[in-house]
Amino acid sequence: MSDVSLPRPPAEDPPGPLGPPASTGPLFDDEGADNNDDAVFMDDYDVWDFSDTTDPAADPQSNDPDAAMIAALLDYPLTPAVELADAIAWCYDDAALPLLLPVAGHDDARVRRAVAQALPSVLGDADPADAVRVLIRLSVDTDEDVRDWACFALGTQLSEVDSPQVRDALLARLGDPHDDTRCEALLGLARRRDPRVLPVLRERLARDNAFSLEIDAAGAIGHPSLHSLVRGHLSGWDDDVVARVCAALRLTDPDGVGDDLLDGLAAWFQDGAPHADDEERYWWSVTLQVLEHAEYRAPEIAEAVRHRLAPNATATALMLGSRLAQLAGDHGWPHWSD
């Protein structure tokens, strides 16, 4: 797991709507990885707290645009497009969903882009079918930023929505001339483990330079045939991308995610599994990074850790009540204790 090639500079990741890519926006704003750790994502994730204890009065989104504001802007015929776009982009009010769907046909690309950005945030418990249809339409927009945000929404933000129509829409963008859009589509298909990405990834990763989301996509699909290709891109990344590359290396390893990870995670639970605000949580951070794009590997990891903890009832109970066990349970692992 520690193989490192001779330095080879990676291709510059094309800037997305939120800046350079990482894992939280189109080509992801690199806020999901943390410096030199083998893997860090969701640093403030409390391992145990699944409850919603947020005080609405203290909610930083409480001043964000809501459905009433969007409706007022839409009703006023002289609303500048830039003002409408800004309000839509930062709207998190589920009640705004029916207002935003028809705005996807707006003449101004900034407004269409904002709709693509906002739709996943206002879905709530609604049937995603209408939003998905709109996003598929926006994925072929003439404006590259609109396509980028639409592919990010379909590919990553709504990755739990899987249908032939969604896959075909993402597949159609694998040849997009816009790097951000193409990479978002590739990752979206890889997160759905669509085998049609494999020849594309092999071709892309065989080049001297690769985009970081192409590495993420390799980790998401986790095919062993990509392991040596990922290993060829270990060097030359900025610190905040290294964790993701290491995670992809683990996820494509034909021998599994690594005994060092599994042993370290088991030892962490044996030590009492400190909460996420504690400094002693390295292997938990590694695990979260590995699972960021390959959550379906949670049962495999959870079972291996449970086996290692079998003689220790206290540590086993901690693990069975943890976020890891919950993620594994979401993917069919039978030992998750609700």
Tell me how far CA of residue 191 lies from CA of 218, 271, 283, 296, in angstroms: 9, 33, 23, 9
Which parts of 76-163 fold into alpha helices (H)?
A: 81-89, 97-100, 109-122, 129-138, 144-152
Predicted local confidence at residue 287, as pLDDT: 86
Contacts 24+ apart (CB under 8 A), 4-7: 4/234, 4/235, 5/231, 5/232, 5/233, 5/234, 5/235, 6/235, 7/235, 7/236
* Confidence at residue 64, expressed as pLDDT on a 0 to 100 scale: 85
The pairs formed by 321-325 with CB atoms below 8 angstroms and a separation of 24 or more are 321/48, 322/47, 322/48, 322/269, 322/273, 323/45, 323/47, 323/48, 323/50, 324/47, 324/265, 324/287, 324/298
Confirm whether 307 is domain-assigned.
yes
Q: According to the model, what pLDDT value does residue 289 have?
A: 87
Per-residue confidence (pLDDT) for residue 62, from 0 to 100? 56
Please say whether the beta carbons of 281 and 236 come within 8 A.
no
Q: What residues make up the domain containing 285?
A: 259-330
Residue 13 has pLDDT above 60, yes or no: no
Q: Which two tokens stand for residue 272?
A: 């009492």
Within a domain: 291 = yes
Which one, of 59, 91, 67, 33, lies nearest residue 288 by Cα? 33
Count the Cβ atoms, other than its own, within 10 Å of residue 231: 18
pTM, 2 dp: 0.80
User: What's the confidence (pLDDT) of residue 255?
Assistant: 96
Structural tokens at position 151: 């592919």
Residue 105 included in any domain: no
Residue 290: exposed, middle, or buried by beta-carbon count in 10 A (0-12, 13-18, 19+)? buried
Is pLDDT above 80 for 47? no
Q: How far, in Å, are 36, 58, 131, 153, 232 from residue 6 at the CA level?
A: 18, 50, 45, 36, 8
124: left (phi over 0), alpha (psi -120 to 50) or beta: left
Q: Is 45 among the domain residues?
A: no
Assess if residue 220 is contained within a domain.
no
Share of residues in the chain with pLDDT > 70 (%): 79
CA 34/CA 182 separation, integer angstroms = 25
Each residue's pLDDT tens digit, 103-139: 999 999 999 999 999 999 999 999 999 999 999 999 9
pLDDT at 230 over 60: yes
Listed in sequence order, the residues at least 6 apart from 80 whose beta carbon sits closer than 8 Å to its beta carbon are: none
**DSSP conformation letters of 217-249:** HHHHH--GGGHHHHHTT-SS--HHHHHHHHHHH
- pLDDT tens digits, residue range 268-324? 899 888 765 555 678 888 888 899 989 999 999 999 999 999 999 999 999 999 989
d(CA 134, CA 140): 11
Check residue 273 and give its pLDDT: 80
234-275 pLDDT per residue, tens: 999 998 898 899 999 999 999 999 999 999 999 989 988 876
Q: CA of 95: how far to CAs of 75, 98, 110, 187, 267, in Å?
A: 16, 7, 22, 30, 46
pLDDT, one tens digit per residue, over 140-166 is 999 999 999 999 999 999 999 999 999
Per-residue confidence at 168, pLDDT binned at 50, 70, 90? Answer: very high
| Dihedrals phi, psi of 193, to nearest 5 degrees | 55, 45
**CA 203 to CA 11: how far, in whole Å?**
15
Mean of the per-residue pLDDT values for the chain?
Answer: 84
Domain-located, residue 295? yes
If one counts the domains in the chain, the total is 1
Angle at 204 between CA 202 and CA 205, to 5 degrees: 65
In a domain, 18, yes or no: no
- Which candidate, 157, 208, 206, places its Cα nearest to that of 28? 157
Residue 244 included in any domain: no
Using one digit for the tens of pLDDT, what is the confidence trace for 17-28? 433 333 333 433
